[in-house]
Amino acid sequence: MELSTKALDDILDLSKQVARSQLTLSKAAESLYRFHGIKETSGRMTLSSVGHLLSGKVYKRALTIQIVEYVLRRVNEESGSAGLRKALTGLSEHINYRDSGGVNVPGLQAVLAKFSR
């Protein structure tokens, strides 16, 4: 399902609020459901994964390429190369995690290569 720019903005902004303990994961997921129709379980997983991506940590639930590219683009605009490097570390860790389970993710590898230039 293709997400609107507003939904992508909200996913990123809510993930940041959760990371700063300004909002609970459950309340953030409720907001995604209320305003964008994203099921709360999916919303919690997405918000958690985006939070890990932003902090440079491995995330184990898949994010769509659309979400990953959007987040990396916004991080680069807002935080510059330092923030982007951290997020790329999280993406690289996710790719390694998936690869260790025998799952090849060429789309994410292409995104990593694109933003690593």
How many independent structural domains does the chain possess? 1
Q: Under a CB-based contact definition with an 8 Å cutoff, are residues 55 and 19 in contact?
A: yes
**pTM (2 d.p.):** 0.95
The whole-number pLDDT of residue 1 equals 72
Determine the Cα–Cα distance for residues 44 and 48; give it in Å rounded to an integer: 6
Q: Under a CB-based contact definition with an 8 Å cutoff, are residues 49 and 28 in contact?
A: no
What residues make up the domain containing 96? 5-116
From first to last of its 117 residues, what are the pLDDT tens digits of the chain?
Answer: 799 999 999 999 999 999 999 999 999 999 999 999 999 999 999 999 999 999 999 999 999 999 999 999 999 999 999 999 999 999 999 999 999 999 999 999 999 999 999
